[in-house]
Structure 1
Amino acid sequence: MIIGGPSSQLLGGRIAAILKEDLALCEYSSFPDGEAYTQVCSDLDDRIVVVQSTPSDRDIIQLLQLLDVCRGRKIDLVIPYFGYARQDKQFKPGEPLSARAMAGAIDSFLAEGSRIFTINIHDRSVLNNFRHEATDLDATPLLSDEIKKMGLDDPVIISPDKGAVRMARAAAERLGVPYDYLEKTRHSGTEVSMAPKEIDAAGRDVVILDDMIATGGTMAQAISILKSKGAKRVYLGSVHPVLTGSAVLKLCRAGVESIIATDTLEKAVSTVTVAGLVAEAIRR
């Protein structure tokens, strides 16, 4: 049985269709005081797949509620976007390792033999906080295949910084095109410039690729710079379209041609589904 959490209902349905398994009927609502209410209305099978991204605190609460409903059963838990994964280090005394805290809370509901799957988690070391088998799946090939269909003119894949270049390299190698990263140069306390490290983007279609787009500020700056350097068209590719606040407006004002993202978070730009990737992992 597939249970799609409130933030992953469409993805849950797609996975159920591929696996030809029942999709549970669930009810998600709120009490008058704002507390989350969760009910799985279908009879539970012995083996269950729960699919729920956790972009907000409420989504984490509803995931824990679903896991409590399924307590005692073997669960394949799919967390396509794992919230709090970026809080995996302590910088000041008294700070929690929030990624560890979330993993511990989730772990406490899982029976022996359960498995956990994430997709392009911020840092795979976070998976070490789980006691159960945990696997991170890579959606980069799916984005690469979507980019290939776009018929781009002399394309180049760009990482927004050196730290994220691994993803750009993997996509570029799959597409057979060059890749580079944006290097920041500080000229003064307030002035910072950004440009490709080696490749000249003039006259070329550019795809900026990263694991997530959050506020859109850095990406908007990168788009503007690449356009000023003569890039023909600039696209964004992202596994997780967090897109908080006015992120889309910032990107459009900067001149982005389009945004390509997966349905780990279900937004208007989520045109690439990870359902097949997840279904294959569950089968294995």
Structure 2
Amino acid sequence: MKTILFSLPGNQELTELLAKKMDAEIGECSLRKFPDGESYTRILSDVKGKCVVMVCTLHNPDEKLLPLYFLSHTAKSLGAMCTCLVAPYLAYMRQDKVFHEGEGVTSTFFGKLISGFADSITTIDPHLHRISSLGEVYDIPNRVIHASNEIAKYINQNIHNPVLIGPDAESEQWVSDVAKKAGAPFIVLEKVRHGDRDVEVSVPYIDKYKESTPVLVDDIISTARTMIETTEHLKNAGMKPPICMGIHAVFSGNAYQDLWDADVKDIITCNTIPHQSNGIDLSDIIAKEVTELMHHI
């Protein structure tokens, strides 16, 4: 079965990388808005009998969802065999329970919505907190890709004498996994509570790592507050400026500049959300997993 990739606006670079690695063509489509704000969709390539792969990372998801929905249904109406969604960043994963009376569990609603028009979904390190697997909220075949191997490889190849830093106990499992794969040491900042409002943060084994390059690793960099606070603690402890690494470059508001202003050495993210900080390309593993998943549909 032939594969044809369609890039939703802003996803062109990743789509081109995937097309080369999957030996697939890139389809042409026209997506725009009418003067009254309604979405217009037209597919200009032949999709009959082909597997359509829609590449659309889902930060700022509300404006992307309807064009995606129309593109999928239009492709099916033109004879496409299947429509597969590649969403490197997957939105609406945090509201996975009712926190306050009157709320809805929007992660489940969003999963049902996408499962209604896509035949499969491939994503990277979604925020699975109280949800143990993506299959709990998506009724379609799915692949969850982990970026830790590629992050570890980048650390190995580009960072001299690294020590990975976890900002708190919750981050230990994630940071230790990357550190193990990178063959690098890691430490987790410790909070010592002296009173209700008096909490001291200490950096353990500080003398051992004074000459190391601190590497802060997180899955999503949104407001960057945790990284900025951690950078301050490292500075107070006498460590070098850190390299900040994240999978998903959400960077809400002025977060990117705020992080630079905190006196960091570098900011590196994966290319799940297009951003100037992208330094780790995940297209190899995405192409491999999408190809395998298509054979199971």
Q: Under a length normalisation based on structure 2, what TM-score does the superposition of the two structures give? A: 0.86
Identical-pair percentage: 28
Provide the rounded CA distance (Å) in 2 between the counterparts of 1:87 and 1:198: 37
1:180 deviation in Å? 2.3
The 10-residue stretch of structure 1 (71-80 or 264-273) with the greater mean CA deviation from structure 2: 71-80
Provide the rounded CA distance (Å) in 2 between the counterparts of 1:39 and 1:196: 56
When Rg is computed on C-alpha atoms for both structures, the one with the higher figure is 2
Which of residues 182, 201, 216 is equivalent to 1:175? 182
Give the SS at the match of 1:93. coil
1:198 deviation in Å? 5.7
Provide the rounded CA distance (Å) in 2 between the counterparts of 1:186 and 1:62: 50
Q: Does 1:229 align with 2:232?
A: no
Give the SS at the match of 2:42. strand
- Give the corresponding residue for 2:57: 53
Structure 1, unmatched stretches of 5+, are: none
Give the SS at the match of 1:236. strand
Which of residues 16, 25, 34 is equivalent to 1:31? 34
- Give the corresponding residue for 2:269: 261
The 10-residue stretch of structure 1 (270-279 or 4-13) with the greater mean CA deviation from structure 2: 4-13
- Give the corresponding residue for 1:158: 165
1:191 deviation in Å? 4.8
What do you get for the CA RMSD once the two structures are aligned?
2.1
Give the SS at the match of 1:17. helix
- Give the corresponding residue for 2:69: 64
Map 1:130-209 to 2 at 5 A.
130-152=138-160, 154-196=161-203, 201-209=209-217
Give the SS at the match of 2:122. strand
Query: 1:177-221: CA deviations, max 9, x gaps?
Result: 111223344555555443445665423211110111001112111
- Give the corresponding residue for 1:273: 281
> How many residues were matched structurally?
280
Provide the rounded CA distance (Å) in 2 between the counterparts of 1:107 and 1:250: 37
Provide the rounded CA distance (Å) in 2 between the counterparts of 1:269 and 1:159: 21
Which of residues 220, 224, 228 is equivalent to 1:212? 220
Q: Under a length normalisation based on structure 1, what TM-score does the superposition of the two structures give? A: 0.90
Amino acid at match of 2:174: M
User: Contact 1:160–1:210 at 8 Å: present in 2 too?
Assistant: no
User: Contact 1:82–1:121 at 8 Å: present in 2 too?
Assistant: yes
User: Contact 1:120–1:136 at 8 Å: present in 2 too?
Assistant: yes
Q: Does 1:5 align with 2:8?
A: yes
Map 1:87-98 to 2 at 5 A.
87-98=95-106
Amino acid at match of 1:157: L
Q: CA separation of 1:106/1:192 partners in 2, compared to 1, >3 Å: closer, same or farther?
A: same
Query: 1:27-59: CA deviations, max 9, x gaps?
Result: 333333444444332221421211111111112
Provide the rounded CA distance (Å) in 2 between the counterparts of 1:62 and 1:189: 50
Q: CA separation of 1:93/1:230 partners in 2, compared to 1, >3 Å: closer, same or farther?
A: same
